[in-house]
Amino acid sequence: MLAELFEIASSSDENRRVPMARAKSTGEQHSRRERSRPSRISGVYVISVAARLADMHPQTLRKYDKEGLVSPQRSEGSRRLYSDSDVERLRVIRRLADELRLNLNGVSLVLDLVRSLTDIVSLLESSPEVSDTRAARVAADELRQILSYVGAV
């Protein structure tokens, strides 16, 4: 769960390019060569499909990409290709913007905070020196509640 959240929070830091034979909107656009390569993402969607999955307009996804809130992979032809974690990140962005009424600068700030809080939770849970203490468990639980509030868990 925390690993997925970290992936969502940090996915904008990656400037990825994926070679593709031809992108299709079915999510099954991998050529035979790409199918044999290991990948950390389970789905790859063109912008129209990702927009539908995130319940947004494709132009909104372009805007978020331009603002650096999400960084989809790119095909060799520079088509945006969204992973499942990108779509989940878009849903978090939509919650922050629509339900919590944050502007894009606020959304960016919250996503940075989510990344930092996720790192802290990971340290609290994985560091042998502190993970066995009651205080660390309580702190990790409190941080998870904060992350849950913004829809990041």
What does pTM read for this prediction? 0.64
CATH of the domain at 9: 1.10.1660.10
Q: Where residue 151 falls among pLDDT bands split at 50, 70, 90?
A: confident
Beta bridge partners of 80: 74
Report CA torsion sign: 135, 136, 142, 143.
Answer: positive
Residues 82-99: tens digit of each pLDDT: 999 999 999 999 999 999
Let me know: does 61 contact 45? Beta carbons within 8 Å.
no
Let me know: does 53 contact 87? Beta carbons within 8 Å.
yes
**Phi–psi pair at 73, nearest 5 degrees:** -65, 165
Non-local (6+) Cβ contacts of 97 within 8 A are 103, 104, 107
Please check the confidence at residue 137 and state whether its pLDDT lies above 60. yes
So what's the pLDDT on residue 152?
72
Residues 20-32: tens digit of each pLDDT: 433 444 444 433 3
Query: What's 11's DSSP letter?
Result: G
Averaged over 5-11, what is the pLDDT?
47
Task: Domain of residue 127: give its range.
Answer: 2-149
Q: How many distinct structural domains can be found in the chain? A: 1
So what's the pLDDT on residue 150?
77
